[in-house]
With several copies, the nearest count.
Chain A
Amino acid sequence: MAKQEARSNLPPLDLYVPEPKFRPGDDADFSDIVIPAAGETRRPDIADDHHTMRDLSYGLVRVLDGEGKAVGPWDPRLDAETLRKMLRAMALTRAYDQRMFRAQRQGKTSFYMKCLGEEAVAVAAAFALDRDDMCFPSYRQQGILIARDWPLLDMMNQVYSNKQDRLKGRQLPIMYSAKEGGFFSISGNLATQYPQAVGWAMASAAKGDTRIAATWCGEGSTAEGDFHSACIFASVYKAPVILNVVNNQWAISSFSGFAGGEATTFAARAVGYGIAGLRIDGNDALAVHAATQWAAERARTNQGPTIIEHFTYRTEGHSTSDDPSQYRSANEATDWPLGDPIARLKQHLVGLGEWDEERHAAMDLECAEQVKVATKQAEKFGILGHGLHQPLETMFEDVFAQMPWHLREQQAEMLAEYEVAKAKAKQGEA
């Protein structure tokens, strides 16, 4: 064994605790973020061995350049109609978010979470997937539903936990579930959807199906054990799944350094598992589309999983319960160097001559109107806390396929209690 004495010369150890570069009061300056030029990152053939593409985990796939031109090998060459649809889905997502956020502030529901600034991550991916590919999202991919033309009204009913809420008021707002929309029931527990997506993909592969799975989680959530489980199983069984990491820099008040973001990229996790990895500009809808399409093709041809790190920024607070001014610099959102995904796609379409300011303004109005109409309808079915929208007895349904005796007993007890409450209330009135 090494001699004990040798040690006394050593300086003491020190515990390193990461610290974001900017805190409230600081002037955030992102000039040290390395942003490769659009078109610079190579696009390997989907049949290439993942070992030959480790560099992609450290690059940044970008298609839209500073002028909004689509450049380089990752340009998905979408037709203008598709581009406009994508743009509209992003705009509608934003309008929806804005309205629902306000609804929470107005006391119409308990909670809401926006995806402001990250709309491309969900919307462009949905456009690159097939409608029946199964998505296992986190709470910040409402854009998938909107891209898949899921009725806003249905989403709002969930947010309001109202009479028409298909989930019977059981879930926190925004924890949607839409099987017909290929959208898995959202969990409150971070990253649990990751191994589930892998399991779904494994099942699809085992059955000789052609549908693949895609899943999303935040960069903060990659620290969870479930992320590891998913990557190991995906790697071992070459599951046809796309593992999206939405690196929006923050996890509530903790910056990405607390998920390991100082040491390397999140796409590099892929390298560790022997999985194909891509790091992409998450605010570039074309890059998101192209990367998703590439990964989907790999999955569909039995080449296995891909991890995609979407480099983006959480422009708003974590949720309606959060106040980001407490822990981060005020100008981060505005100074984010990768811009706004809607503005960038708009610029691209305008550059192509397929779009203009008037049409954009009209679209925005249209989206606002669509949201307004849906809101009105939804509010007719009730808002949270104003009246009992779910029959009480439904509380005991769906715990099991068939209600066992103990739940039937409790159900009866609760209904009896309710009668007492009503009687008491009457007494009170009288």
Chain B
Amino acid sequence: MAQMNMIQAINSAMDVAMERDENVCVFGEDVGFYGGVFRATAGLQKKYGKRRAFDTPINEGGIIGVAVGMAAYGLKPVAEIQFADYIYPGLDQLVSEAARLRYRSAGEFTAPIVVRSPFGGGIFGGQTHSQSPESMFTHVSGIKTVIPSTPYDAKGLLIAAIEDPDPVVFFEPKRIYNGPFDGRYQEIVQPWSRHPASEVPEGHYVIPLGKAATVREGSDVTVLCYGTMVHVALGVVEREGYDAEVIDLRTLLPLDIEAIVASVKKTGRCLILHEATKTSGFGAELSALVQEHCFHHLEAPIVRVTGYDTPYPHSLEWAYFPGPIRLGEALKRVMED
């Protein structure tokens, strides 16, 4: 065991994967010598050489397209997109190629790539360093979407993603790289070292994709969330004393429907929390699924607490962020309804 923050855990995941499988390689803008603008790949070039950890041209479509070709050859490419906001130029290679290759070739060719990308706001990054585009990927058949919320999960999920035979988009909540930010932006954020999930095995382990974690048991309401929002939810629930069950989805697709349904059937209420814009965000799918599976158990309308349907505004960041107050009000509503 070692103490790791989220960046260190992610770094360690790649290190372990590269150590175990010489076909694993990492690349992306500033990923090689410098080790990534968030330092997630620091040291990997030194350890594994330039052929396995390298910088790339600034071309997200090329990064993903080249990764697909490498994967078709037999490598296990782990590509970094510097910010999730910059994944769109690479979307076609993800949607039309990586996601479709196994299907269209009936399994002859596959594209087991991992695309890692920091996402979400809360760092005053303005509208092009704060986006949460995860729901788009969940709409694309053939892609798995994974979002960790702790160092421990990040490492185990990333290793699982690298070992997975399918393309995986791995979004890293950059706001919690250094500590489990709970949305109270006026307070000093605790470092990960104070959090039990910063105890991370140094070696290999996996957290299976498709399994949610019930991070808090409760009986009054189910809170579905992922990434940074897990900490926001836990903070509010604890501080305001709700007997809420908080489920960290960890994998959006494939979704752990069993955990969700079991919980909502138990609590009869459901609140969905994410940072992405509301309309057609992943909360919509969650809401639809919950009402399809738990209609007769629901005692109140399912509530979505999300980013607003605007770009992420630089100076009004904290008004935009679905933080403790908004969540607290929504919890109150869902409990009273």
The answer to whether A and B touch in the complex, with CB atoms under 8 Å apart, is yes
Spell out A's residues near B (CB within 8 Å): 15, 17-19, 23, 110-111, 134, 136, 161, 165-173, 175, 177-179, 184-185, 187-190, 192, 194-204, 206-207, 213, 220-221, 223-226, 228-230, 232-233, 236, 251-254, 258-260, 321, 326-327, 384-385, 388-390, 392, 394-396, 398-401, 404-407, 410, 413-414, 416-418, 420-421, 424
Chain A residues whose CB sits within 8 angstroms of the CB of B92 once the complex forms: 189, 192, 226
Chain B residues whose CB sits within 8 angstroms of the CB of A177 once the complex forms: 104-106, 108-109
Of the candidates B54, B73, B278, the one having the most CB atoms from chain A within 10 angstroms of its own CB is: B73
Flag if A200 contacts B166 (CB, 8 Å): no
Flag if B108 contacts A185 (CB, 8 Å): yes
Flag if B73 contacts A204 (CB, 8 Å): yes
With A185-B104, A206-B75 given, is the CB distance from A172 to B66 under 8 Å?
A: no
Least CB separation from A231: chain B residue? B62
A-B contact pairs, 9 of them (CB 8 A): A110-B314, A166-B108, A203-B74, A225-B89, A253-B34, A392-B319, A395-B313, A407-B310, A410-B278
With A177-B104, A185-B104, A236-B57 given, is the CB distance from A229 to B329 under 8 Å?
A: no
**Cβ distance A262 to chain B, nearest Cβ, rounded Å:** 12
Partner among B52, B105, B315 whose Cβ is within 8 Å of the Cβ of A169? B315
List the 7 shortest-distance A-B pairs measured between CB atoms, nearest first.
A199-B69, A188-B128, A195-B65, A169-B315, A229-B62, A172-B126, A199-B66
**Cβ distance B181 to chain A, nearest Cβ, rounded Å:** 16
For chain B, the bracket of interface size reads 35 or more
Partner among B30, B100, B109 whose Cβ is within 8 Å of the Cβ of A179? B109
With A200-B69, A259-B57, A390-B315 given, is the CB distance from A15 to B51 under 8 Å?
A: yes
Flag if A169 contacts B314 (CB, 8 Å): yes
B316 within 8 A of A: yes
Bound Cα distance from A169 to B105, whole angstroms: 10
**Cβ distance B147 to chain A, nearest Cβ, rounded Å:** 17
Bound Cα distance from A363 to B83, whole angstroms: 41
Starting from the known contacts A177-B104, A226-B65, A254-B58, 20 additional A-B residue pairs (CB-CB under 8 Å) come to: A17-B50, A110-B124, A111-B126, A171-B104, A185-B108, A188-B85, A195-B65, A196-B72, A199-B69, A199-B73, A202-B70, A206-B75, A220-B58, A224-B60, A225-B62, A233-B56, A253-B37, A396-B308, A404-B253, A410-B308
Chain B residues whose CB sits within 8 angstroms of the CB of A165 once the complex forms: 315
**Cβ distance A425 to chain B, nearest Cβ, rounded Å:** 10
With A179-B109, A230-B62, A406-B279 given, is the CB distance from A396 to B89 under 8 Å?
A: no
Flag if B33 contacts A23 (CB, 8 Å): yes
Chain A residues whose CB sits within 8 angstroms of the CB of B142 once the complex forms: 399-400
Bound Cα distance from A421 to B74, whole angstroms: 43
Chain B residues whose CB sits within 8 angstroms of the CB of A232 once the complex forms: 57, 59, 62
* B70-109 interface code vs A (CB 8 A; 1 in, 0 out): 1111110100000001101100110011001111111111
Chain B residues whose CB sits within 8 angstroms of the CB of A199 once the complex forms: 65-73, 77
Partner among B29, B97, B128 whose Cβ is within 8 Å of the Cβ of A196? B97
Chain B residues whose CB sits within 8 angstroms of the CB of A395 once the complex forms: 308, 310, 313, 316, 319-320
Bound Cα distance from A233 to B168, whole angstroms: 23
With A177-B105, A203-B70 given, is the CB distance from A406 to B255 under 8 Å?
A: yes
With A168-B106, A188-B128, A398-B103 given, is the CB distance from A224 to B58 under 8 Å?
A: yes
Partner among B73, B129, B328 whose Cβ is within 8 Å of the Cβ of A200? B73
Bound Cα distance from A225 to B60, whole angstroms: 9
Flag if B69 contacts A195 (CB, 8 Å): yes
Chain B residues whose CB sits within 8 angstroms of the CB of A404 once the complex forms: 210, 253-254
Least CB separation from B96: chain A residue? A189
Chain B residues whose CB sits within 8 angstroms of the CB of A196 once the complex forms: 65-66, 68-69, 72, 97
Flag if B254 contacts A396 (CB, 8 Å): no
Flag if B311 contacts A170 (CB, 8 Å): yes
B325 within 8 A of A: yes
Spell out B's residues near A (CB within 8 Å): 25, 29-30, 32-34, 37, 50-52, 54-62, 65-75, 77, 85-86, 88-89, 92-93, 96-97, 100-110, 124-129, 141-142, 144, 164-166, 210, 253-255, 257-258, 278-279, 308-311, 313-316, 319-320, 325-326, 328-329
With A188-B128, A226-B65 given, is the CB distance from A410 to B315 under 8 Å?
A: no
Chain B residues whose CB sits within 8 angstroms of the CB of A421 once the complex forms: 325
**Cβ distance A133 to chain B, nearest Cβ, rounded Å:** 12
Bound Cα distance from A249 to B109, whole angstroms: 32
Partner among A173, A184, A223 whose Cβ is within 8 Å of the Cβ of B57? A223
**Cβ distance A111 to chain B, nearest Cβ, rounded Å:** 7
Chain A residues whose CB sits within 8 angstroms of the CB of B67 once the complex forms: 199
Chain A residues whose CB sits within 8 angstroms of the CB of B165 once the complex forms: 400-401
**Cβ distance B276 to chain A, nearest Cβ, rounded Å:** 14
Partner among A18, A172, A396 whose Cβ is within 8 Å of the Cβ of B129? A172
Flag if B70 contacts A200 (CB, 8 Å): yes
Least CB separation from A188: chain B residue? B128
Flag if B89 contacts A167 (CB, 8 Å): no
Bound Cα distance from A253 to B108, whole angstroms: 34
With A198-B69, A252-B29, A327-B34 given, is the CB distance from A192 to B316 under 8 Å?
A: no
**Cβ distance A108 to chain B, nearest Cβ, rounded Å:** 12
Bound Cα distance from A254 to B44, whole angstroms: 16
Bound Cα distance from A414 to B326, whole angstroms: 8
With A167-B104, A224-B58, A395-B310 given, is the CB distance from A327 to B33 under 8 Å?
A: yes
Chain A residues whose CB sits within 8 angstroms of the CB of B253 once the complex forms: 404
With A111-B124, A406-B279 given, is the CB distance from A251 to B108 under 8 Å?
A: no
Flag if A203 contacts B69 (CB, 8 Å): yes
Least CB separation from A257: chain B residue? B55
Flag if A399 contacts B37 (CB, 8 Å): no
Flag if B314 contacts A172 (CB, 8 Å): yes
Least CB separation from B255: chain A residue? A406
Chain A residues whose CB sits within 8 angstroms of the CB of B51 once the complex forms: 15, 17, 206
**Cβ distance B196 to chain A, nearest Cβ, rounded Å:** 29
Flag if A170 contacts B107 (CB, 8 Å): no
Least CB separation from A204: chain B residue? B73
Chain A residues whose CB sits within 8 angstroms of the CB of B61 once the complex forms: 195, 225-226, 229
Flag if B309 contacts A424 (CB, 8 Å): no
**Cβ distance A286 to chain B, nearest Cβ, rounded Å:** 30
Chain B residues whose CB sits within 8 angstroms of the CB of A198 once the complex forms: 65-66, 69
Flag if A224 contacts B66 (CB, 8 Å): no
Flag if B97 contacts A189 (CB, 8 Å): yes
With A199-B68, A223-B57, A384-B315 given, is the CB distance from A399 to B106 under 8 Å?
A: no
Flag if A389 contacts B329 (CB, 8 Å): no
Chain B residues whose CB sits within 8 angstroms of the CB of A172 once the complex forms: 125-129, 314
**Cβ distance A21 to chain B, nearest Cβ, rounded Å:** 13
